[in-house]
Structure 1
């Protein structure tokens, strides 16, 4: 899912600001978990009018409840999420971050809360597979795993970066790019909600595990989250949310 390019900057922020993440005891004492997300990635985290909602928002609220905590939300641009985490501006980020070795150098991941992958989307039904991206212009959100995986192919005519995933989709709709690579579930949701765009869903370019992120070394918070997630997966509450948003259980098998 979304892999950001600012991991080393995030690590540098810790060194220069001297910020320390709140351990679980401090969070429990305050009674509130401060969580950050993008708020612009349907159906995972987005605004329905003035209300922040989505699968990840509801998952985080469920985790906080099982941990005996209230939750306070912060929404910022995707590029600022991990930097803000390193600067101790919030306790946890949940915004469809794919687990990568590079990111793991700068954050402590929780257990994955779903598995997905980057799907190829095009107006031209003939563009379905990685091979079909050869010589094409491909739109992706800046800094994501979609970007890095398209670049790894080395066959696209041009890879165009956009500030948001919605901007990349709009570029496809307007014919400014030949294909768009995004999350599988986002692609399905976009095609369902925008039939007039006549989006054709192709193959998965890659697969990945998606997890929340705590500040590097904040293992007490990550473990408490993992315990809550395990309970939710065992008691059916996770499955209920998954089926509400996707019609299937999206946990990693």
Structure 2
């Protein structure tokens, strides 16, 4: 996913040299997108949380998490409110004009979820009410692939899921791994997994042009991917290695 609304103006991102001197990197995430980033009680958890903590440790830094609404993350990055965002953002050309993306840390895509087993493909969404999270890439992709009656935007992905479960939407489009977890966690809701509509490379982001920070993070990420740490974290959450094919 990714925030669509970005600020026209930017401030100077904190250079990597300054981050190293401080010893702490500020990283923002949504905290509402299981199994990638979410709260277990008051503890921030998830695949992206554990992976980022492993990478930042490899960089020799402490990590300070910031959590807030998903659609504010990239705008706050442009305002230099934090050094990095890691929150399941899909890489697109539009967003790459406003921020510098890091190397992808997993590949996924948008899947259809419905309570009606007949709603499985893009064509089945024609004339239907489709629920999505505000600021995600899913709305644009749904419009390109089908002609829904309406696309209902909700502040959090869980709100879109609730809209489907309570009959206020015919389908919910979300990340395929999020969909699988929701189906397994609430079998009584009788949610049905449909087709994968599109594939995305998912990456963190830093301020536009902050190349030194991006290079340092990418180097540490590559090391974590090479030494078995990534595979162990991924297998614990998904039962498989979810890195993008090389």
What TM-score bracket applies, with the shorter chain setting the length?
A: over 0.9
Partner of 1:247: 239
Partner of 1:98: 90
| Native 8 Å contact 1:96 1:210 kept in 2 | yes
Displacement of 1:143 after TM fit? 2.0
Aligned 1:14-93 pairs, distance under 5 A: 14=10, 19-93=11-85
| Native 8 Å contact 1:109 1:213 kept in 2 | yes
| Native 8 Å contact 2:125 2:146 kept in 1 | no
1:13 aligns with 2:5: no
CA offsets 1:128-160 (integer angstroms, 9 cap, x no match): 010111111111111211111112234111111
1:221 aligns with 2:213: yes
What TM-score comes out, normalization by structure 2 length?
0.98
Q: Match for 1:209 among 201, 208, 211? A: 201
1:176 aligns with 2:136: no
| Native 8 Å contact 1:13 1:83 kept in 2 | no
1:251 partner SS: coil
2:184 partner SS: helix
Determine the C-alpha separation between the residues in 2 that align with 1:234 and 1:141.
Answer: 34
Determine the C-alpha separation between the residues in 2 that align with 1:195 and 1:230.
Answer: 37
1:81 partner SS: helix
Displacement of 1:13 after TM fit? 3.4
1:142 aligns with 2:134: yes
Q: Match for 1:199 among 171, 182, 191? A: 191
The structure that is helix-richer by fraction is: 1
Partner of 2:2: 3
* Structure 1, gaps ≥5 residues long: none
Runs of 4+ residues deviating >3 angstroms: none
* Structure 2, gaps ≥5 residues long: none
